[in-house]
Chain A
Amino acid sequence: GIQVEQSPPDLILQEGANSTLRCNFSDSVNNLQWFHQNPWGQLINLFYIPSGTKQNGRLSATTVATERYSLLYISSSQTTDSGVYFCAVYSGGGADGLTFGKGTHLIIQP
């Protein structure tokens, strides 16, 4: 099956800093999503981005499908940005769901 690798696995930043999270995938995809898992375990949809660039406030994402990677940018980090960020892909070809990366654990210190 498709492989999804995220980097870095852990990231500790000061409030106000910027960060870039990376997601590499091993095959072509029909869907790529970024999620933020809050401390209560809830998955929040950040971006649905199988290709191209999107922005939502301080967050933006870019997926280069031909090179099989996606980047999530967080600018002017706030303590509420802390949590785990997951990249997940759907490669199609059946009724299977998303394949998740192992996540990036982000800690924003005040």
Chain B
Amino acid sequence: SAVISQKPSRDICQRGTSLTIQCQVDSQVTMMFWYRQQPGQSLTLIATANQGSEATYESGFVIDKFPISRPNLTFSTLTVSNMSPEDSSIYLCSVVAGGQTEAFFGQGTRLTVV
């Protein structure tokens, strides 16, 4: 399975600021996704990160709030913009290798907005 490095692992941010989370994979993967897990809740898909083009967002998530980049097959970033305390969550990167459907997850970024 791919080794996924997600940074930062945790952060405490002031409201109104933005945080960029990085996801680096040690091998080329077909699909990269970003998920959010609000406190005490399950995981919800934010978007599919598409290489070289705009991400595909799920209902309820918009590009202005969660801009995503994927410049190549091994790296993606998620930015949480203009943060409010409601954005306090764990954000997780997930990958699926080519020809497979099994998903693997990074260790997550625990974000607290104060």
Contacts and interface: CB of A to CB of B under 8 A. Distances in A.
A103 B38 CA distance: 13
A48 B90 contact: no
B43 interface: yes
B110 interface: yes
Contacts, number: 61
Interface in A9-54: 30-31, 33, 35, 40-43, 45, 48, 50
Contacts of A86: 42-43
Given A41-B90, A45-B1, A96 B45 contact: yes
Given A41-B107, A43-B105, A98-B33, 8 more contacts: A31-B102, A41-B108, A45-B105, A86-B42, A95-B31, A97-B35, A102-B42, A103-B42
